[in-house]
Each structure stands twice: as C-alpha cells, then as structure tokens.
A and B are shown apart, each in its own frame.
Chain A
Amino acid sequence: MATLNPSLVEERLHSGGGAPPHAQDGGEGGRPDFSFGDRLRRNRIGMAVALAPVAMVFVAFTSAYIVRQGLGEDWRAMELPQILWINTLILVASSFTLELARRGLTRQAALAQVPSVPGVAPVEASSAPWLPITLVLGLGFLAGQWMAWGQLARQGIFISSNPSNSFFYLLTGAHALHLAGGLLALAYAAATAALAHAWERRRMVVDVTSWYWHFMAVLWIYIFALLQFAK
C-alpha cells in the first residue's frame, strides 16, 4: 500500500475533468471514488451552499445592529480606526493574488495532463508564488485587525463600553474568525506543495477556498461600509 505504483500515478494524471467515475485513490474508508472533475463540481456546490448560512449569521447581526441602534439614546457613534482602510486594501489584494494562484494551478493541472515523454523533464509552469503571497496578505489583514482592536483598547473602548462598540467587536471578530478558517485551508494547500503529486488536492483546496475567500472580502467590505455609514 505504501509503495507508489507508477502506473497508478499515471492513471491519476490522466484522470480529470468530466471523466466517468473511476477507481483511484481508494482511501477514505472504502467509499467509491469519483473523477477529479466530479469532485471539484461537488465541492464547489458544497462551498456555494455553505456560504448561505455564513451570510445568514451576518444578516442576523445586521438586523440586530439596526434594531439596537434605533432603540435609544445610549448609542454613541464610534470613530473607526484609520488602519481599517489599509486592512481593506490588503484583503482585496489577497483576493486578487489568490485568484492568480487558482488560475496558475489550473494551468499547471492542464500541463500535468500531457503524458511525460521518457527522458524529457515535465514542463513546470513558472509563475510567482501567489499562494504563499496570499497567505502573507491574509495574515497581514488579521494582524491589522488585531492592531485596530489594540488601538481601540488603548483608548479605553471595549466590547461593553457602548452598543456601537459591542457591534464593532462582534462583526470584526466574527469576520476575522471566518477568515482564519479560510487561512487554515490555504495553509494546508500551501503545505501540500511540499508533497509530490499532490497538485490535485492542492488545486481542489485552492479552488474551493478561493470562493470562500472572495466571499470573505466582499463580506468585509459590506461590514466596513455598515460600520462606516450606519454609525
């Protein structure tokens, strides 16, 4: 089991995109396996569906925000830390770099389909390391949010200081937590780069996570706009 069967590897390279279900990679407790194309489509549907409850959580927070704001005189509009503008730029940039990483992997996958001729080294698509760059940008965003919280805390603004502050910490915190989840997935994908023949899995994780990541970027812009314009 542990030894790598070369013919199996080749099979694996040939499989992809719309092929009928076929047997490969038989781990996972013996469940039947599907082609890469099947699994990619399935995972994309799953991710698209999974975004709905994430959206619902923030819809619920938003409605609470609006209702609570309209309730009484105790609501004090808060000055948002300036660093949020920089963080926003970083996150939007990370969305772009992740998209580049995703497209790079798709291209690489297409090249991997080309049967390798004996004696000829496989062609490696040369591109910038977009995935690690995205990781750094993602971490940068989280660090920036951390700094924003620290800045507020030094001004004596805590979660219980005022309902507007409560919502600020709630919304930014919940978003950061979701983003950290995406970051873990990308870190996993980047780590698989170290393993041979793992491009399938890497491409899958990056592809599906990129949907999530773009959603997180849009969600952040929405939260930022809400906090900025509905003080």
Chain B
Amino acid sequence: MDGSAPEGKTGTVNRPHGAHRKMTEAHAVTEAHAHAAPTGFIRKYIFSLDHKVIGIQYYFLALVAVFVGMFLSLLMRIHLVYPGVNLPLVGEIKPETYLTLLTMHGTIMVFFVLTTAPQSGFGNYFLPIQIGAPDMAFPVLNMLSFWTTFLSFMVMLAAFFVEGGAPLSGWTQYPPLSAIPSAGPGQGLGMDLWIISIALFCGASLMGALNFITTVLDMRAKGMTMMRMPLTCWAWFVTAILALLAFGVLLAGGILLLLDRNAGTSFFVPGGLVVNGQLIKHQGGSPLLWQHLFWFFGHPEVYIAILPGMGVASQLLSTFSRKPIFGYKAMVYAIMAIGGLGFLVWGHHMFMSGMDPRSAFAFSVMTMAIGVPSAIKTFNWLGTIWRGRVRFATPMLFAVGFVSLFVSGGLSGPFLAQPQLDNYLHDTYYVVAHFHLIMGVAAIFGIFAGTYYWFPKMFGRMMNTTLGQAHFWFTFIGTYAIFMPMHYLGMAGHPRRYAQLDVVQFLHPLIPVQKFITYAAFITIAAQFLFVFNFFWSMWKGKKAEINPWEATTLEWTVPSPPPHDNFDGKTPVVHHGPYEYSVPGAAKDYTMQTEEAAVPAH
C-alpha cells in the first residue's frame, strides 16, 4: 500500500477502542485505510457524517415523534368517551380541535415515525455494515438528509403554535378544505406550514433514498452479491426505490396545493364554492386531481412503512428459529412484487370519490393481486419457524407479533379492495382498524423487534429481558384490544372522524365499545413507558453485550459493539456465504458467519 502514513497514524491514535489500538500497531499498513473519528462534540454527535450516528439521530427523532403522536391519540380517545371533560394544558376539546389532533396524529405517525425509524433509522445504521461498507455512499448528503428531516419536524410542530393552530383537513389533505385558508381554524398559516414541512420531508427522503440505492449498488463488499444480501437490505433497497419514485409526486402535489392557496391558481379548487358565506374566486379545478397525486404517493408510502419491518421479521425469524429463511429468492421477488404492485393500486383509496366502475374493477383486481406476494411472505415466515429450534428472546416475540399483526391487518384488505364493500366500510372505523393494524402497529412491531435485536450492537449492552417480555405482552394484547373492536364498530356503521359521539343518537349503543377501546389504549400507552425505561436504563446499566449475542450470521455481528468509526477498522470484509446459514449439516456450530471461509461449500 502507499503511504500517507501521517494520516494513518492520527487514525490510530484517536481510535476510541483500546483493543484495536493494540492490533492496529501491528498492522500499521492496513491501517492506512482507516481514518480518525472526529473528536469534537459537534462533529461527532451533532453534525456527524457517520452513518451510525445519523441512524441513531433518526431513531431518536422518531422516538420523540411517536410520543407526540401517541399523546395526540390519547387526547382523541379521552375526548371520544368523555366529551365534556376539561383537560389540564389542553382545555376542552372542541370538534375542530379533535380534527386537528386527528390530522397531526396521522401526519406525525406516518412521516416522522413509520417512514423515519425503520428505513432512515435502522437502515442508515445497519445497511452499510450488513453489506460490508465503511459508510453510506454520500455521507454529507446523509447528514443533510437528517437535518432536513429535523427541520421538517420542527416546522410541522410549529403549526400547533401559530394563529388558528394546526390544520384539520386530515393527513390526506383533501381539497377544497385544504386549499382554502378561510375554510376553518388551522387552514391558514398552519396549513401552509404543513405543506412546507412535508415538502422538506420529501426532499430529505429523496436524498436518503438516493443514498441508500447508490450504497447498495456500489458499496457491497467482495463476495456480497445481491443474492447474498440479508433480506433487511433487500427491504431497505426496495423501500428506497419506492421512496425515490413516490415522494417526487407528493412534492409536485404539494407545490400545486401551495400555489392554489397562495398564488390564486385553480388546480384543485372547483368553481362556485361558498365558504363561510363568501364566494370563492377559484374555478374549474378538480379535487380528484389532488387525490390521484396524493394516493399515487400514499399507497407506496404504506409499503415504505411496512417493507423494512418485513425485512426485520425475516431476519429475526430465521435467526431465532436457527433455520435458513424459507425460500430466500421467493422472499426477494415477493418484496419486489409488493413494491411494483404498490404503484398500481392507488385508486382503491378513492372508490368513494366516484370513479368509472371499470377503473374501480381494475384497481380492485390489482389490489387483491398484492395478496399473492403477501401470502408468499407469510407462508415463508411460517415455513421458517416450522420445526425450528425456536428461541423466544424478546426480539423474536416482536417478530412473531409482527407476522400476527400483518396477517390480522392484511386479511381485512381483500374486503376493502372490493368497491361495493368499500362503499359501506370506507368512512367507518373498519378502515381505521385495517390500516392501524397493518401499517401502524405491524410496522411499530417491526421497529420494536429491530430495537431489541440491534440494541446490543448499537449501544454495547443488552436490554432487560423481563421488562422486554412484559412490554411485548402488554403491547401485543393491548393493540389487539384496541383495534379488533374497531372492525366491529365499522361493520355496525360507526363513521370515522366523528368528534362528538354523545350527540349522535344511533351511536349510543356503541359507546361501551369505544369505552373499552379507550381503556385498552390507556393500558397499552402506559406499557410503552416500560420500553422507554428499559431502553435508557439498559443504555447505561444493561449487561455488557458480546460481539454476537444472538449467534447470528450477518456482518454486523463480526464487529465490536458498538462498531468502530468506519465499521471494519479499515479491513474490508470478504463474504463467502448467504445470510441465513443456520444449522448447516456437518458444520461445527449451528450458524455460519457470512465471512467464514470453509465450514460449508459456498453458495
């Protein structure tokens, strides 16, 4: 190797891991690759270029966001069953406040939690390590992407504090309600801030997606072929492609909406509207146009939220069943099929908006076709566990919980995919139950599974098992108790987005069910503090983690916990196996690391 010894030396001196310092002196030549980690607090923890720090930043952003979102849902649940109550800080919740809570709960959860944690959080941290790269392809862009997301979140929160407050037109922001500032409190500056925040978020997501795709295509270590990548990496890769193609369309829609609101154009606003006694000047626009643009983004967005969870579930079910994943290739093609079909089904969100029956039929068929790759994945997961020597560690519980919720939430999909049934169910709690189970809670279980699984690698300590198991059972039973009865409410015709149930006569018999749901929500939300406590307590006081506590095979388990600054200490790993070589006949251990040379014949 060539010299630039001075730089290599600085690298050695500044490396925080004592054990490696000893090693690096012996291998001063290979050390030329490795470089110093930044030592200043700001470069190390705030404006860091290290994908691991950025991943953790994303994770904590999502952690804050999920508590904000959960708090908003708590307020909604309280208001539904105690409509007149005067809450500290919040006061009495008026119907328009309820709609604001609903809008911001959806927005914050979808964008800043479900899009942020599984993809940007875990993806950033583990994608480069799992493919054997020292960092993401474009570290500066990566940092920029996080800080744009952060700015976007701040702008979104700012909407609460401006005159009129946050918007109330739902996270889908259908015009004309979202396009006309005088349409309600929160539809003024709050709504503009919402659009600006989402536009920033689009930009950040596009930067992130571009980085993920380039990293996967260009940064894989020697021997790490595409078909040797862990399924987590496949999921992050396909998710990045979805984000790349979907967020641009949302951005375009947002620009049009902003122009309608502020520049007097009429893309989405039809003529002849009278709002608050005032005739609106716009004319000729189409609210349906927004719905098409929005859902062209919105449906892939559902998969952006859930695919990383599928990747984590696949990874964990194989690891903890001590068996290779059942049908690796089928899993990869199923991820691609779900991603591809995801772009062809947006119309099923719009059956209610009025649509040519032939289009509705086409969207309906395409939607049900997604059942095929989804079923392939589900059966392969079951096939993976089948006759495995299953270790029910906390991450495994959440992975199994993910499969359970994915099935429960997914089965209502084919019902909603039929236009005739959807006409009845669409504006009821049935849809609320469906998307919360499959997109919300299943994805959250994916995040939890990932957290319990990778925590030892990220922070060098184990999370507490007892607390973890308690957290699992409360959350698992709790979420079913919250969302299963909502199917029943929906079938009984309970409309969603209604703020004041006590004044609607035909809903009175259903109020006991709503009460039950609220109590279940109290318990489930309380149980999340077990997780937070476990998380922060384990960060400082948890049992020290070994390099490979779960006896897993992928590359992140070959490096110290937490991994050094450039992941592999300047030595590029060479990969010899696929990611799921468990219980290989004739091998000494029941797992074969991807980097091990002999043991079994290479695949």
Contact = CB atoms under 8 A, between A and B. Distances in A.
A53 B245 contact: yes
Contacts of A52: 244-245, 248
Interface string A18-55: 00011110101111110000000110011001101111
B35 interface: yes
A24 B252 contact: no
Interface in B206-220: 206, 209-211, 213-214, 217-219
Interface residues of A, number: 43
A160 interface: yes
19 contacts: A23-B1, A26-B7, A28-B139, A29-B43, A30-B11, A32-B33, A32-B566, A46-B137, A49-B209, A49-B213, A53-B206, A53-B210, A53-B251, A60-B296, A64-B256, A68-B286, A74-B266, A74-B284, A160-B266
A8 B32 CA distance: 14
A71 interface: yes
Given A23-B33, A160-B263, A57 B4 contact: no
Contact of A61 (B134, B244, B252, B264): B252
Contacts of B292: 63, 67
B286 A32 contact: no
A166 B137 CA distance: 39
B249 A23 contact: no
B249 A57 contact: yes
B36 A30 contact: yes
B137 A42 contact: yes
A187 interface: no
B119 to A, nearest CB: 16
Contacts of A60: 248-249, 252-253, 293, 296
B264 A160 contact: yes
Nearest to A22: B2
A63 B291 CA distance: 13
B150 to A, nearest CB: 19
Contacts of B36: 30
A50 B174 CA distance: 29
A64 B267 contact: yes
A42 B216 CA distance: 11
Secondary structure of the A contact surface, majority rule: helix
A163 B284 contact: yes
Q: Select the residue from B35, B37, B264 with max chain A CB neighbours within 10 A.
A: B35
B267 A32 contact: no
Given A30-B37, A46-B211, A74-B283, 12 more contacts: A11-B2, A22-B2, A22-B33, A23-B7, A29-B43, A30-B35, A45-B218, A53-B251, A56-B244, A58-B252, A71-B284, A170-B256
A170 to B, nearest CB: 7
A72 B2 contact: no
B180 interface: no
A159 interface: yes
Given A49-B210, A50-B210, A74-B284, A8 B139 contact: no
A22 B490 CA distance: 62
B213 A24 contact: no
Nearest to B256: A64
Nearest to B240: A49
A64 B4 contact: no
Interface in B286-331: 286, 289, 292-293, 296
Given A29-B50, A160-B264, A160-B265, A22 B32 contact: yes
Contacts of B217: 45
B248 A57 contact: yes
Interface string B217-252: 111000000000000000000000000111111011
B50 to A, nearest CB: 7
Given A23-B32, A159-B265, A56 B249 contact: yes
Nearest to A29: B49
B248 A29 contact: no
A108 B48 CA distance: 35
Nearest to B11: A30
Contacts of B283: 74
B164 interface: no
Contacts of B38: 29-30
Interface in B113-143: 134-135, 137-140
Contacts of B210: 46, 49-50, 53
B68 interface: no
B35 A163 contact: no
Given A46-B214, A67-B289, A32 B570 contact: yes
Given A60-B293, A64-B289, A26 B249 contact: no
Interface in A79-99: none
Contact of A31 (B14, B139, B213, B285): B139
Interface string B253-293: 10110010001111100000000000000011110010011
Counting from the closest, the 6 A-B pairs by CB-CB distance are: A160-B264, A56-B248, A60-B252, A30-B35, A53-B248, A74-B284
Contact of B49 (A24, A28, A74, A170): A28
B43 A53 contact: no
B265 A30 contact: no
Contacts of B572: 21
Nearest to A160: B264
B8 interface: yes
A60 to B, nearest CB: 4
Contacts of B33: 21-23, 32
Interface string B536-578: 0000000000000000000000000000011000101000000
B1 A22 contact: yes
A21 B4 CA distance: 13
A45 B136 CA distance: 13
Given A23-B33, A30-B35, A49-B210, A56 B245 contact: yes
A90 B286 CA distance: 37
A119 B453 CA distance: 63
A1 to B, nearest CB: 9
A46 B213 CA distance: 8
B34 interface: yes
Given A53-B245, A159-B263, A28 B252 contact: no
Contacts of A61: 252
A64 B293 contact: yes
B139 A29 contact: yes
B179 to A, nearest CB: 13
B248 A54 contact: yes
Contacts of A59: 248-249
B415 to A, nearest CB: 30
Given A30-B36, A30-B565, A166 B265 contact: yes
A68 B139 CA distance: 41
A32 B132 CA distance: 13
B209 to A, nearest CB: 8
A29 B284 contact: no
Contacts of A22: 1-2, 32-33
Contacts of B259: 159, 166, 170
